[in-house]
Structure 1
Amino acid sequence: MDYCLFFWEVALVFHMLLYKNSEGLLTCNGHVWTEPAPVVQMGSNISIFCTSTKYTHCSQRAFVFFLNNEMYKGPLHCINDTTVQLQLHDVEIPIYTIICKVKPNGSNRELVCGMTISSGYPPDSPTNLTCVILENSFYMTCTWNRGKNTHIKTNYTVHLRSLQTNEEQLFLVKNNITIIAINELQDYTQYIVWIEAQNALGMATSDLLQFQLHEIVIPIAPIITKVESIDNSTSHPLIRWEKKTSIQNVHCEIRYKAAQLPTWSVIKGSEMLSINPLQLRNSLEPYTEYEFQAHCGQKSGKKYWSEWSASFKHTTPELAPSGMLDVWRFLGLTYTNGSHEVTVLIKPLSPEVARGIISKYEIFYEDHGYKTISKFCKTSELQCRIVVSQTVHTINVIAHNSQGTSKPAKLPVQLDYNRNDSLLPPRNMRVISAAQNEILITWESLEKFILWFILEWISTACENQEGNFSWKKVPKNQTSIYIQEFIEPRECIRISLYAIYSNGISKPCTGYGFSVEDKPIKGPDIILQQVVGDKVYIEWEDIPVCTQRGFITNYTIYLRNNNDFYSKYVVNVSKKQWIFENLSPGIDYAVYITASTAAGEGPQGTIRVITLDRDGSDTTVLVGVVLIAPMLIFLFVLVSNERICKRIKIILLSWMPTWFFEDFPNMKNSTAITSLKSHTMKIQ
């Protein structure tokens, strides 16, 4: 705040330097002063007076005050013909620059004079006074807490007095630290130190601190030189360290922690007993980087501790993985011999479970009681494809590191297991949109014993892009989960939940969800229009999933006539058809449909026109004629072309049966017919 005060004082001087006489000297045509003082406590009332030596007819319009370069528009009070008063109440601004000007007889404003006033607080008593000497240093450093900000210039005086000689030294500082040379001070002499704080509003002193020089020395920190694991184990490692201080009566401490964690474990001085090397009582986590630090302090005197030493880092040895992999699978092609492809999906082990560097994955299975290694997969291969025979029902997947393997993760792969009705699927699965682009899935627990659940989700493939697939293993006692991976707002997600049993996998419980819903971007198209009497039947189909942008809640059908009068019908989402009744013949009706989600109504679909003729027929007959007319024209063109007709005749004759080409006798020359005619004439 002292810098702020300096800034405003400079600003005031610069402003006043603009008003110089012809000889270049600053001229004040009067003076400005304050009551009770130019420095007051915050919250006080203050009066500012301005007296002009040139203007002798005081009026509020003639005098103008500028506070921090802004013109004061409040009331002024004339004390006499030459002096005006401004009153400020509850002053809370630390610095004010005051400029007083006068405007006699309507002329330009002239400077009277200016000043700076300050507001703040008296100093608090300094607390937590500490004086220390670093080992092998020739200086003593004293620090303290100043208390609240005074907002005004405050000086601190350090008093150092010898109790033997009563000699006292004073050190004036502006902040809360001072460094004092000790070359003229005597060891084993009692000294007292105290701090005196003073500003324009008051003074305060700290408590006394009494000491001898050797009592406030901080020892040099020790150095940790080595950390050893015994027999390549993480149990009870050895810590070797080196004491650097020449002070005899000291004790030291060591602390350690995993590098990625914030909390330290401390080995107290009573536990160390100056043992070197020191063996930890606790075991460390395998294949984990640890930090080790040490410091020392005097057992007597002020018992100041050194800073902690620089960290010594040590990585513990590997151990075999402690858990099992999370695995899932895609079932692929089935071959003629009954074998089929399986794509195994692997999630990497967490560092706590891997307990080392995973070098490879192994997939194996048992066939007729014999172990068969199917494939080794690199750690970069999180999708491994294998082929198994129809007699293999379960495969096993394990992870390798330098010390061993994980427990086998069993994965049913036989297609027949999926048809096992005794493997109950999850029940009553619900998909709920949640905050922050998440989707909440809930379901009911199963009564029968299961091992775990597998949840898989895939985003809808849109605009020639492949959908993103992800999956997660869920503990058997869990009945809800939030998912966020590969989920974008307004994107439809297909979700499948499987129950995993010791003898197979249930059928999936499937649903769809959106993290954030929006209005559809397309309306439904009418795919069927049929007229029965004065009724018109329409049918439409769902809009594509990629354009829904949310769960469709209802459809709205709009029917508009020539006079722009329209009717609106809201239809349940389960319906895909509608019947219009009592339509008037000879009137054109425009029909279109919209779809709505929780976010609102989307745009209209394709407009269809319905017109009932006067006799009740639909213009769809005209549509049929329009479709048939091109076909008739095409046939006419074929018949009128002689060459094309001959070729068609040859082709058609090749398809005729043989009896079609047999020669028949002339019926007029038939004997049977002549005899029959003669017999008929005789009867007559």
Structure 2
Amino acid sequence: MATMFQSWSLLIAVAVLAVQLCTGQRSCDIRSTAGSAVQWGSNFTVYCTFNCKCEGSMFCDSPPTQQKHEKFNSTTIYFNVVNITKTRTYSCHCACSPPRDPCGLDISAGYPPDHPKNFKCDYKVITNDSGDLVCTWNRERDTLLWTRSVLRVRTVTGNHTGELHRVSSEGTESLSASFAVSRSVQLLSVWVETQNSLGSVESPTVNYTLSDIAMPPAPVLVQPECSSRECFIKVEEPVRTQHVEIEYTADQQTWTTSPDSVVQMSSSQVRSVSSLEPYRLYHFRARSKFNTGNWSEWSANISSWTQEEAPAEELDVWFTEDFKSRRVYWKEPDVSISRGKIIAYKVSVKSPNSRVVRNISADTRSYSVPFRADCEVTVWACNSKGLSPPARITTRHTKVKHAQEVHVSAGNYSIAISWRKPKTAPLLPAGYVVEWYPEGHQLQELRWLKLDKNDNQTVISGINAFECYEGAVSVFYNDSSVSRTRFKRIATLESAPAVGPLIEEKVKGNDVEITWMELPRGQRRGCISTYSIYLENSSGHRELYSVASPKRTYTIKGLSPGAYNLWMSASTATGGEGPAGNKVTFFVEEETSFSLLLVCGVVSVMALFLVCLCQSSAVKRRFYKFFQCLMLDVVPDPANSKWAKEYIQDKGRMSLMPQQSNSNFSSEEEEPILVDVEELPKQSGDASSPTTISLQLPPQTGLSPETDPATLLYPVTTYIKSFSHDSDSSDQTQTSLDTNSTVDYISSHGPGNMDEEDEEEEEDELVDMHFFPSHNIFMDSLEFGGKLTLDAVKIDCGDFFQNA
């Protein structure tokens, strides 16, 4: 029996243990004094009671953070939570044996529900018999807790009070509810109840008459049919209503209500929408309404173009001209003016003697006018329906000097321009034209604005930032005269240029000429005011030169020889200086004296001439003879010559042999001729002087009786052979003289005592005797002064007859 009891006890213990292991018994229990949902910012206490003897601890959130708990008793601990502002998770842990699961609690913080705000209901009619009651409301704030709303509806039909209907809203965050209601219902009582874990509230009850909140479904519009001024729209309605409203717009921003004009067509009706503009894309929408109740929602939009008409107004035309070209511009007309798609422009140029008409493409906005005398230009715009009124402009106007006082200031992406007429101007203005364009792009991007004669200011909008503009204000007078005042360099925003100028240099002596290109338009970042030129020499010394825009060339003068580095930067008035451009290196050479160069050039030319001249053999011979004469090393003594000694030995006769340099002499002339010589007595006073030879001269020699025979250079002979040579000719002429021929000689008084014929004969003989070259350039300047004696000049006369 005892054994059986023990067996059953063991069996029960195993079963209890198995149950405990399967159920996962926890080691503790956790609870909050405020529950699992508490009010935002409230205070409460969390308790943990352990189911085993252990040292327990409390943690918060994930990952778990241990909290400083307080001990309540041997099995319970607690923690005081202060000003909770979010959902938190608290847990407790204990080391039990055997181990058990910890315990935890999620506590949410939020607000109790508020009373619903703006509670209202609409009855959306679906068919002629039924519809849906749709109620909406707002709440003041989010409760941060799970919240549920319930719509309560009580209907009244005739004298019968209907039952109460309870409709839950869809989702915890929904603020609307719907309920199907028959159209036979006359009255409704409606309210809404909202609740969460912190409480519940109800809205006030609202009573409705069903017809007062009835809303028909939105109508359906069929594609309209339009003329140039009117469109007809077909409106279809699922439920017959008494009112239909149609709105239209051309830009989908400003809607215009069409007058109520209805044409009944069975279940649909056709509405006429008038007062439209030609060639416009219009958008239409519609809504409907019963006699009572609310308007339906708007229908889906439909769109359609109205048809075209001929352009209504003339084009806005302007022109520009300079000394090279003249061009007429026109603006693309607005759709309100064009009244259709422009397919071409027609231009007529009329001058005193001709008229030219051209059709221009619709994409063109200008026309080049021949640069001639006064001409009138007329421009028309053309669409499928016809031409616009003509726009005329005269390209020549009388210019007057009454310039306007123009003031220009930049704003925020705009330019304000004002002007004032001079007090002395005798003419009254008929109108003004203000034109503007990006700097340097007048022909490509010209814009203008025509103003009335009473205007004196305007604001130009749409100005690009970091763009430099220029323009002019022109005033026109009734007599076709015009005055023009320009303004330049205006920008709304500026910064430092993005790049530096690209430069080129050209060295001219000690000067360097610098040129640079204009910065790319997109990298100027405003109006360029100045250019800075930096010049650095080889020693590192730097010089700065400033050049005002728009000048793009500069010359630096008086540089010393050496190497230089050069670079540039650009600056705007308010943006500052930009980065440097390309860097170039150049050299200034040492300047050579002009006179020295000239002398060297002349010497070089003369040397070249002499080299070329010396290539001639005749010239070589003459130069040799000339220099041989000038460079005599020994002067012979005639008194001691061989010829003088032979004369002493043979006093009675002397044989004079002519030169045999010419091979054309006859045999008779080659024989020696004997000449009688008379010996004279010795002159007293000079016993040492040699014997003097007396020559009998013909009277034509011109010698005076006082001539001293001792001064003769060579003996006188009755036979003289004379040759006439021309160094420049191959022909030679020879003459044989008889014994009575004149004896040529050198007088002590010099050649000045000879006549011109004797001088020519002497020159021929000297040529034959190889004394001087013929045609010597120094012969004309040769002069003899005083008496020529043997003591002064000693000549070996044997050299003259070395060929005899």
Measured against the shorter chain, the TM-score band is: 0.5 to 0.7
Kindly state the Cα deviation for residue 498 of structure 1 after the two structures are TM-superposed. Answer: 5.0
Matched, 1:160 2:153: yes
Kindly state the Cα deviation for residue 422 of structure 1 after the two structures are TM-superposed. Answer: 0.3
Task: Report if the CA contact (8 A) 2:512-2:555 is conserved.
Answer: yes
Matched, 1:346 2:339: no
Q: CA–CA distance in 1 between the matches of 2:31 and 2:600?
A: 112
- The letter for the 2-side match of 1:516 is E
- The letter for the 2-side match of 1:496 is G
Deviations 1:422-464 (A, max 9, x none): 06556546475x66xx574645344652534252424669xxx
2:286 counterpart (287, 290, 294): 294
- For residues 588 and 543 of structure 1, do their structure 2 counterparts lie closer, same or farther at Cα, with a shift above 3 Å needed? closer
Task: Report if the CA contact (8 A) 2:530-2:546 is conserved.
Answer: no
Kindly state the Cα deviation for residue 154 of structure 1 after the two structures are TM-superposed. Answer: 1.4
Kindly state the Cα deviation for residue 342 of structure 1 after the two structures are TM-superposed. Answer: 4.9
Deviations 1:407-426 (A, max 9, x none): 43333324xx4xx4406556
Kindly state the Cα deviation for residue 482 of structure 1 after the two structures are TM-superposed. Answer: 4.7
Task: Report if the CA contact (8 A) 2:374-2:395 is conserved.
Answer: no
Residue of structure 1 in register with 2:201 after alignment: 204
Q: CA–CA distance in 1 between the matches of 2:755 and 2:197?
A: 154
Q: CA–CA distance in 1 between the matches of 2:193 and 2:501?
A: 79
Matched, 1:495 2:470: yes
SS in 2 for 1:37: coil
Residue of structure 2 in register with 1:551 after alignment: 528
Kindly state the Cα deviation for residue 530 of structure 1 after the two structures are TM-superposed. Answer: 9.5
Residue of structure 1 in register with 2:138 after alignment: 146
Q: CA–CA distance in 2 between the matches of 1:379 and 1:559?
A: 57
Give the RMSD, CA atoms, in angstroms.
5.6
- For residues 285 and 189 of structure 1, do their structure 2 counterparts lie closer, same or farther at Cα, with a shift above 3 Å needed? closer
Map 1:87-102; keep pairs closer than 5 Å: 87-93=80-86, 96-102=87-93
Deviations 1:475-528 (A, max 9, x none): 33364555667x685x7x462325263636655625235553314525988878
Residue of structure 2 in register with 1:7 after alignment: none
- The letter for the 2-side match of 1:127 is N
Task: Report if the CA contact (8 A) 1:524-1:594 is conserved.
Answer: no
Residue of structure 1 in register with 2:247 after alignment: 256
Matched, 1:411 2:393: yes
1:453 counterpart (426, 430, 433): 433
Deviations 1:645-672 (A, max 9, x none): 89xxxxxxxxxxxxxxxx9xxx999939
Residue of structure 2 in register with 1:398 after alignment: 380
- For residues 158 and 286 of structure 1, do their structure 2 counterparts lie closer, same or farther at Cα, with a shift above 3 Å needed? same
Q: CA–CA distance in 2 between the matches of 1:350 and 1:77?
A: 84
Kindly state the Cα deviation for residue 79 of structure 1 after the two structures are TM-superposed. Answer: 4.1
SS in 2 for 1:353: helix
Residue of structure 2 in register with 1:178 after alignment: 177
Task: Report if the CA contact (8 A) 1:524-1:543 is conserved.
Answer: yes
- The letter for the 2-side match of 1:360 is A
Q: CA–CA distance in 2 between the matches of 1:245 and 1:626?
A: 112
1:169 counterpart (165, 171, 178): 165
Q: CA–CA distance in 2 between the matches of 1:35 and 1:289?
A: 70
Deviations 1:611-651 (A, max 9, x none): xxxxxxxx96x522599999999999999999x989xxxxx
Q: CA–CA distance in 2 between the matches of 1:495 and 1:75?
A: 78
Q: CA–CA distance in 1 between the matches of 2:382 and 2:360?
A: 10
Q: CA–CA distance in 2 between the matches of 1:400 and 1:507?
A: 33
Q: CA–CA distance in 2 between the matches of 1:638 and 1:31?
A: 128
Asked which structure has the greater CA Rg, the reply is 2
1:509 counterpart (481, 486, 497): 486
SS in 1 for 2:30: strand
Q: CA–CA distance in 2 between the matches of 1:406 and 1:51?
A: 98
1:325 counterpart (315, 333, 356): 315
Residue of structure 2 in register with 1:383 after alignment: 366
SS in 2 for 1:469: helix
Kindly state the Cα deviation for residue 244 of structure 1 after the two structures are TM-superposed. Answer: 4.9
Kindly state the Cα deviation for residue 152 of structure 1 after the two structures are TM-superposed. Answer: 1.4
Task: Report if the CA contact (8 A) 2:31-2:46 is conserved.
Answer: yes
Task: Report if the CA contact (8 A) 1:289-1:313 is conserved.
Answer: yes
Deviations 1:544-587 (A, max 9, x none): 4317665345758687895x7x688796859978999xx9x999
Map 1:597-612; keep pairs closer than 5 Å: 597=572, 598-602=574-578
Q: CA–CA distance in 2 between the matches of 1:103 and 1:410?
A: 103
Task: Report if the CA contact (8 A) 1:362-1:398 is conserved.
Answer: yes
Q: CA–CA distance in 2 between the matches of 1:239 and 1:330?
A: 50
Q: CA–CA distance in 2 between the matches of 1:451 and 1:632?
A: 74
Residue of structure 1 in register with 2:297 after alignment: 307
Matched, 1:521 2:488: no
Matched, 1:32 2:30: yes
Q: CA–CA distance in 1 between the matches of 2:364 and 2:563?
A: 64
Task: Report if the CA contact (8 A) 1:453-1:474 is conserved.
Answer: yes
Task: Report if the CA contact (8 A) 1:460-1:546 is conserved.
Answer: no
- For residues 324 and 356 of structure 1, do their structure 2 counterparts lie closer, same or farther at Cα, with a shift above 3 Å needed? same
Kindly state the Cα deviation for residue 349 of structure 1 after the two structures are TM-superposed. Answer: 0.9
1:671 counterpart (756, 760, 767): 756
Q: CA–CA distance in 2 between the matches of 1:641 and 1:85?
A: 127
Kindly state the Cα deviation for residue 379 of structure 1 after the two structures are TM-superposed. Answer: 1.0
Task: Report if the CA contact (8 A) 2:349-2:356 is conserved.
Answer: yes
Task: Report if the CA contact (8 A) 1:160-1:169 is conserved.
Answer: yes
- For residues 569 and 97 of structure 1, do their structure 2 counterparts lie closer, same or farther at Cα, with a shift above 3 Å needed? same
Kindly state the Cα deviation for residue 33 of structure 1 after the two structures are TM-superposed. Answer: 2.5
Q: CA–CA distance in 1 between the matches of 2:438 and 2:518?
A: 13
Matched, 1:472 2:442: no
Kindly state the Cα deviation for residue 354 of structure 1 after the two structures are TM-superposed. Answer: 1.7
Q: CA–CA distance in 1 between the matches of 2:393 and 2:507?
A: 48
Unaligned runs of 5+ in 2: 1-18, 423-427, 614-727, 729-750, 761-779, 787-804
Task: Report if the CA contact (8 A) 2:315-2:331 is conserved.
Answer: yes
- The letter for the 1-side match of 2:143 is T
Q: CA–CA distance in 2 between the matches of 1:529 and 1:109?
A: 103
Task: Report if the CA contact (8 A) 1:188-1:214 is conserved.
Answer: no
Q: CA–CA distance in 2 between the matches of 1:214 and 1:403?
A: 53
- The letter for the 2-side match of 1:251 is Q
Task: Report if the CA contact (8 A) 1:252-1:294 is conserved.
Answer: no
Deviations 1:348-394 (A, max 9, x none): 11112222222321112444599x461121212333345475341x3
Matched, 1:364 2:348: yes
- For residues 187 and 429 of structure 1, do their structure 2 counterparts lie closer, same or farther at Cα, with a shift above 3 Å needed? closer
Kindly state the Cα deviation for residue 291 of structure 1 after the two structures are TM-superposed. Answer: 3.4
- For residues 223 and 590 of structure 1, do their structure 2 counterparts lie closer, same or farther at Cα, with a shift above 3 Å needed? closer
Q: CA–CA distance in 1 between the matches of 2:585 and 2:218?
A: 92
Unaligned runs of 5+ in 1: 1-20, 335-340, 462-466, 532-537, 611-618, 647-662
Q: CA–CA distance in 2 between the matches of 1:180 and 1:561?
A: 96
Task: Report if the CA contact (8 A) 1:126-1:205 is conserved.
Answer: no
1:422 counterpart (394, 400, 405): 400
Q: CA–CA distance in 1 between the matches of 2:310 and 2:221?
A: 29
Q: Number of residue pairs matched?
A: 581
Q: CA–CA distance in 2 between the matches of 1:638 and 1:369?
A: 67
Residue of structure 2 in register with 1:195 after alignment: 192
Kindly state the Cα deviation for residue 474 of structure 1 after the two structures are TM-superposed. Answer: 1.7
Residue of structure 1 in register with 2:275 after alignment: 283
Matched, 1:125 2:122: no
- For residues 628 and 225 of structure 1, do their structure 2 counterparts lie closer, same or farther at Cα, with a shift above 3 Å needed? farther
Greater relative contact order (CA < 8 Å, ≥ 6 in sequence):
1
